[in-house]
């Protein structure tokens, strides 16, 4: 008999506590698989966010540091600068990375900090109960945009990946979704490249992962997957936004 | 032995440097010293002042209401600081830039045309501060000449070491100006 | 031992290096920028890291990250910048991470000015950020003490796994005094087994700053409380200057003001007054018992600060009503003069001073 599917060694044998239909668990599993494949668990340090995945440290068999809301890129910088031979990744939601922590992620990318950043974009503040996020789509109803996001009042959904791609220090920026097996395969390849970007010292890497939030969107999981594909992907196009091949970082 | 020395002038006249040489010389002589600059948001051209205290005992306050020695390098600091000098104290005036005469009868006033001396006798206009210091030490030996020279050696190191000889010369010019006493106008001293 | 004339900010920065600090994250602000400038030059020479952050918020969180790995790390700022760091300081206290935070304080509130002030006393000694926590607060009074207390700050941070603040002011940072660089001996400390280094170094470890179960969080808060009590028992520090036994009046002041009060004690002697000074060196823990003891000997107390009256509250807590406590303060970056304080003392001794 041959094992064709098993729990990644980097994940603790403990069920995820995320809501049904949420893709946090799937994203974290892919990250764990890549850490296994690269065989870097012993020297990898994770930095967790404030938000739905605040308990991320409980699921990974890794050293983990919990930072303040939005500050994970600065915390990761402090860790990487003091332990430059370790692999450091941060994991943040859209409120964390694209609202309160915008300055930290922009400057982290611009410094070309050798960390790998994962950004879960589900277009709402999840943990606090579905408020408007910087990535909430025009017209999307949330508890703080009950009539739908009015761009004249609340501005536009923030395309963080495109913005960070403009920074000289960023080396790899990609946006992925996990709504079908083909996209999951693509996402895993992007996650691996994002880690390799750090290992090869090319610069800062970020993977933005579009994720459904059925609970706060008021949808069933299949409806939420459909909403990601029909509403989010057209506004947040998938693919590699920036791939810097040379390792000119070490100047 | 306890001296509270207040030095004032324009930014760029080497006020803080003068204070630093004085404080370093005091330290070399084995005294307790402190140096405290006025610091403001302007980087260039503003007013500059600093307080140097040289004492036998642990220094408390690093600023003073009543300096016993005061060096004023321009008119604004002359107007501001000359009334503060302690009775029987010494006021050193850069008479090149200060046309007014001090009316106080209860202090010793030493007028030094520092800009002229620096330009003509030293040959380097930027040495007014060391000309003044040389004259001050000649009048009132708060520190010795050799300590002042050693202080310059401690401060002007590396690329700046080539400035040593001109600064030594400026000290000497100030000293001999005071010793000759020719153009010094001295008001009545309180002890006379 | 050779004496070197050094600026306070630079002496502090060099002392941090001597104490084993190899990581510094900061953001420019007057009157402490020489600390950053000095370390930007010196840290690379000793294999350390200097990084100028995009903000005070980022800087303190970089400190948090570096402290998580067990290294000695420092940041420095002045009033407005310290306000921005408060979030991070609360998290550092919660995660029990050692680090040193320097505040060369200036006139406030708001942007205020850049002249010396002591108006951040409450902020420093009451925690400053959200939640029930304290930081050790050391208040140097000379350039030499900036050196010795910087060594001590790193030691205490590691001893207690707690942030330590050095509360100076623009005067201490900007002034020059002679410094001697003697070897500093402090007790040895246990290895940092808690530090995050990647799990190859052993069992997986976490640095956390959250506990959702209220019973557990209360247990944690009690643990912090015991730590603060231990600080008070083992590490409070003060200096007594002047008349020890039968003073006419007790002066209380810290940092820059304490220096001025030393001049006042000497000048007071010329007036025939027996004056005593107690200078708290640790502002948290505050030497309440010693202040009370001295206050009872003197029967009258005058607290002098460069603020509207902050430490005076701690003095009153210490004195417990056993002696009248008077206050004299200058604010906005003004420095109290010896003459003004002597006048205030004359008023008090004549019975005219208002409490």
Place B45 in a pLDDT band, splitting at 50, 70 and 90: low
Helix axes C33-45, C8-18, angle to 10 degrees: 30
Verify whether the Cβ–Cβ distance C87 to A54 is below 8 Å: no
- Contact at 8 Å (CB) between A62 and A46? yes
C235-243 mean pLDDT = 97
Compute the nearest-CA separation of B43 from chain C (Å). Answer: 12
**If you average pLDDT over every residue of chain C, what do you get?**
96
Can you tell me whether residue B175 is helix, strand or coil?
helix
**pLDDT for the residue numbered C353:** 60
**pLDDT for the residue numbered B189:** 39
Could you give all domains of chain B from N- to C-terminal order, each with its CATH number?
2-180 (3.40.920.10)
**pLDDT for the residue numbered A224:** 98
Q: How far apart are CA C40 and CA C36, in angstroms?
A: 6
Compute the nearest-CA separation of A44 from chain C (Å). Answer: 5
Compute the nearest-CA separation of B64 from chain C (Å). Answer: 7
**B vs A contact (3+ beta-carbon pairs below 8 A):** no
CA neighbor of A28 nearest in space, from A61, A2, A63, A72: A61
**pLDDT for the residue numbered A251:** 47
Q: How far apart are CA A158 and CA C7, in angstroms?
A: 47
pLDDT for C173-228, tens place per residue? 999 999 999 999 999 999 999 999 999 878 899 999 999 999 999 999 999 999 99
**pLDDT for the residue numbered B188:** 39
Q: Which residues is C74 bridged to in the sheet? A: C24, C100
Q: Which residues of A39-71 are buried (b: 16+ CB within 10 A; e: fewer)?
A: ebbbbbbbbbbbbbbbebbebbbbbbbbbbbbb
Q: How far apart are CA C30 and CA C80, in angstroms?
A: 10
**pLDDT for the residue numbered A247:** 62
Looking at the partner chain, which of C49, C58, C210 has a beta carbon nearest the beta carbon of A103? C58
pLDDT for C279-301, tens place per residue? 999 999 999 999 999 999 999 99
B1-6 mean pLDDT = 97
pLDDT for C242-274, tens place per residue? 998 899 999 999 999 999 999 999 999 999 999
Place B190 in a pLDDT band, splitting at 50, 70 and 90: very low
Q: How far apart are CA C299 and CA C292, in angstroms?
A: 10
Verify whether the Cβ–Cβ distance C91 to A54 is below 8 Å: no
**pLDDT for the residue numbered A33:** 98
Q: How far apart are CA B41 and CA B47, in angstroms?
A: 11
| B70 token code pair | 């005061």
Residue ranges of domains in chain A:
24-243
pLDDT digit string (tens) for chain A, length 251 residues: 888 889 999 999 999 999 999 999 999 999 999 999 999 999 999 999 999 989 999 999 999 999 999 999 999 999 999 999 999 999 999 999 999 999 999 999 999 999 999 999 999 999 999 999 999 999 999 999 999 999 999 999 999 999 999 999 999 999 999 999 999 999 999 999 999 999 999 999 999 999 999 999 999 999 999 999 999 999 999 999 999 987 655 54
| C74 token code pair | 């420092």
**pLDDT for the residue numbered A4:** 87
Give burial (CB, 10 Å; 0-12/13-18/19+) of C274: middle
- The fraction of chain C above a pLDDT of 70, given in percent, is 99
Contact residues for C104 (Cβ-Cβ < 8 A; gap 6+): C8, C9, C31, C32, C35, C76, C77, C78, C168, C169, C170, C172, C173
Measured in whole angstroms, how far is the alpha carbon of residue A66 from the centre of its chain?
16
C119-129 mean pLDDT = 96
The answer on pLDDT for B91 being more than 70 is: yes
A46, A81, A113, A115: best to mutate for the C interface, most C CBs within 10 A: A81
For B41, B83, C105, C142, C218, the CA distances from C174, given in Å and listed in that order, are 14, 26, 11, 11, 43
CA neighbor of B185 nearest in space, from B121, B125, B115, B100: B100
Q: How far apart are CA A45 and CA A67, in angstroms?
A: 13
**pLDDT for the residue numbered B135:** 97
**pLDDT for the residue numbered B111:** 95
CA neighbor of A29 nearest in space, from A45, A15, A47: A15
pTM value > 0.90:
yes
C141-167 mean pLDDT = 98
Q: Which residues is C105 bridged to in the sheet? A: C169
- Contact at 8 Å (CB) between B26 and B52? yes
Q: How far apart are CA B90 and CA B86, in angstroms?
A: 8
Query: What does DSSP say about strands B47-55 and B32-37: parallel, antiparallel, or unpaired?
Result: antiparallel
Chains that touch B (3 or more CB pairs under 8 A): C
**pLDDT for the residue numbered B11:** 85
Residue ranges of domains in chain C:
4-235, 239-349
DSSP state of C208: -
| C347 token code pair | 């008023």
Query: What does DSSP say about strands C49-52 and C23-26: parallel, antiparallel, or unpaired?
Result: parallel
B76-105 mean pLDDT = 94
Verify whether the Cβ–Cβ distance C177 to B24 is below 8 Å: no
**pLDDT for the residue numbered B182:** 47
B18, B62, B156: best to mutate for the C interface, most C CBs within 10 A: B62
- Contact at 8 Å (CB) between C338 and B65? yes
Instruction: Give the fold, CATH level 3, of C4-235.
Output: Rossmann fold (3.40.50)
Taking residue C288's Cβ as centre, other Cβ atoms within 10 Å add up to: 17
**DSSP of C216-232:** HHHHHHHHHHHHHHHHH
CA neighbor of B18 nearest in space, from B100, B111, B179, B127: B127
CATH class assigned to A24-243 = alpha beta
**DSSP of A5-54:** ----TTB-SS---SPTT-SHHHHHHHHHHHHHHHT-GGGEEEEE-SSGGG
Q: What is the CATH number of domain C239-349?
A: 3.40.50.920
pLDDT for B131-165, tens place per residue? 999 999 999 999 999 999 999 999 999 999 999 99
Q: How far apart are CA A233 and CA A50, in angstroms?
A: 25
Looking at the partner chain, which of A61, A71, A86 has a beta carbon nearest the beta carbon of C204? A61
Which residues of A fall below an 8 Å CB-CB distance to C?
41-45, 47, 54, 57, 61-68, 71, 74-83, 86-87, 103-104, 106-107
Verify whether the Cβ–Cβ distance B65 to C176 is below 8 Å: no
Verify whether the Cβ–Cβ distance A68 to C68 is below 8 Å: no
Which residues of C fall below an 8 Å CB-CB distance to B?
3, 5, 30-31, 114, 170-171, 174-178, 259-264, 266, 335, 337-339
Distance spanning both ends of chain B, measured CA to CA: 22
Q: Check residue C6 and give left, alpha or beta (phi > 0: left; psi -120 to 50: alpha).
A: beta
> What is the CA angle C144-C150-C151, rounded to 5?
100
- Contact at 8 Å (CB) between B113 and B183? yes
**C vs A contact (3+ beta-carbon pairs below 8 A):** yes
- Contact at 8 Å (CB) between B50 and B162? no
Q: How far apart are CA A131 and CA A145, in angstroms?
A: 7
Distance spanning both ends of chain C, measured CA to CA: 46
Contact residues for B179 (Cβ-Cβ < 8 A; gap 6+): B138
Q: How far apart are CA C277 and CA C242, in angstroms?
A: 6
pLDDT for C34-81, tens place per residue? 999 999 999 999 999 999 999 999 999 999 999 999 999 999 999 999
Q: How far apart are CA A53 and CA A46, in angstroms?
A: 12
């Amino acid at each position: 008999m041959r094992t064709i599917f098993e729990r990644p060694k980097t994940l603790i044998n403990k069920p995820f506590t995320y809501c049904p239909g949420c893709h946090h668990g799937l994203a974290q599993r892919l990250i764990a698989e890549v850490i296994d494949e690269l065989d870097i668990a012993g020297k990898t340090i994770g930095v967790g966010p404030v938000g739905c995945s605040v308990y991320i440290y409980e699921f990974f068999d890794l050293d983990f540091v919990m930072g303040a809301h939005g500050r994970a890129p600065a915390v990761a910088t402090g860790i990487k600068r003091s332990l430059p031979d370790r692999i450091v990744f941060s994991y943040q939601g859209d409120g964390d990375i694209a609202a309160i922590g915008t300055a930290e992620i922009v400057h982290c990318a611009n410094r070309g900090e050798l960390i790998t950043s994962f950004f879960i974009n589900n277009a709402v503040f999840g943990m606090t109960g579905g408020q408007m996020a910087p990535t909430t789509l025009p017209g999307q109803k949330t508890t703080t945009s009950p009539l739908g996001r009015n761009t004249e009042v609340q501005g536009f959904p923030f395309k963080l990946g495109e913005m960070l791609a403009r920074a000289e220090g960023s080396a790899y920026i990609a946006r992925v979704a996990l709504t079908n097996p083909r996209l999951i395969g693509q996402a895993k390849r992007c996650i691996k490249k994002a880690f390799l970007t750090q290992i090869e010292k090319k610069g800062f890497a970020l993977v933005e992962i579009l994720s459904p939030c059925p609970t706060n969107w008021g949808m069933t999981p299949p409806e939420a997957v459909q909403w990601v594909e029909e509403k989010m992907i057209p506004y947040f196009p998938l693919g590699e936004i920036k791939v810097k091949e040379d390792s000119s970082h070490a100047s | 032995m306890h001296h509270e020395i207040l030095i004032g002038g324009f930014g760029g006249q080497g006020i803080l440097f003068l204070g630093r040489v004085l404080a370093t010389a005091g330290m070399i002589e084995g005294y307790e010293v402190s140096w405290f600059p006025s610091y403001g948001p302007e980087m260039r051209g503003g007013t500059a002042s600093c307080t140097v205290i040289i004492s036998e005992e642990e220094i408390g306050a690093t600023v003073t209401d009543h300096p016993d020695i005061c060096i004023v390098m321009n008119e604004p600091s002359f107007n501001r600081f000359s009334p503060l000098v302690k009775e029987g104290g010494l006021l050193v005036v850069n008479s090149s830039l200060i046309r007014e005469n001090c009316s106080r009868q209860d202090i010793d006033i030493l007028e030094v045309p520092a800009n002229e001396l620096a330009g003509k006798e030293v040959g380097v206009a930027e040495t007014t501060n060391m000309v003044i210091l040389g004259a001050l030490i000649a009048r009132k030996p708060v520190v010795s000449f050799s300590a002042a020279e050693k202080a310059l050696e401690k401060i002007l190191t590396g690329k700046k070491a080539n400035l040593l000889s001109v600064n030594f010369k400026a000290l000497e010019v100030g000293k001999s100006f005071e010793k000759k006493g020719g153009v010094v106008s001295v008001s009545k001293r309180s002890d006379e | 031992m050779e004496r070197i004339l050094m600026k306070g900010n630079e002496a502090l920065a060099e002392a941090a290096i001597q104490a084993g600090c190899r990581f510094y994250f900061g953001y420019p602000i007057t009157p402490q920028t020489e600390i950053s400038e000095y370390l930007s030059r010196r840290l690379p020479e000793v294999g350390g890291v200097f990084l100028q952050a995009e903000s005070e918020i980022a800087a303190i969180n970089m400190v948090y990250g570096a402290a998580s790995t067990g290294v000695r790390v420092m940041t420095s700022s002045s009033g407005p910048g310290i306000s921005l760091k408060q979030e991070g300081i609360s998290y550092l206290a919660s995660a029990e991470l050692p680090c040193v935070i320097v505040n060369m304080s200036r006139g406030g509130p708001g942007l205020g000015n850049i002249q010396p002030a002591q108006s951040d006393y409450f902020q420093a000694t009451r925690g400053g950020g959200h939640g029930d926590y304290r930081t050790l607060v050391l208040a140097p009074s000379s350039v030499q003490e900036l050196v010795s207390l910087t060594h001590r700050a790193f030691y205490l941070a590691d001893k207690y796994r707690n942030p330590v603040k050095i509360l100076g002011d623009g005067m201490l940072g900007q002034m020059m005094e002679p410094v001697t660089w003697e070897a500093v001996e402090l007790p040895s400390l246990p290895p940092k087994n808690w530090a995050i280094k990647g799990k190859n170094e052993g069992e997986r470890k976490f640095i956390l700053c959250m506990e959702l179960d209220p019973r557990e969080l209360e247990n944690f808060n009690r643990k912090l409380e015991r730590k603060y009590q231990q600080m008070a028992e083992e590490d409070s520090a003060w200096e007594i200057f002047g008349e020890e036994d039968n003073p006419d009046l007790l002066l209380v002041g810290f940092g820059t003001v304490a220096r001025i009060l030393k001049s006042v004690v000497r000048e007071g002697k010329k007036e025939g007054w027996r004056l005593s000074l107690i200078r708290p060196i640790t502002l948290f823990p505050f030497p309440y018992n010693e202040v009370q003891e001295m206050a009872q000997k003197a029967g009258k107390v005058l607290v002098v600060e460069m603020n509207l009256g902050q430490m005076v509250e701690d003095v009153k807590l210490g004195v417990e009503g056993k002696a009248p406590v008077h206050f004299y303060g200058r604010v906005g970056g003004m420095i109290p003069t010896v003459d003004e304080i002597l006048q205030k003392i004359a008023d008090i001794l004549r019975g005219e001073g208002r409490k």
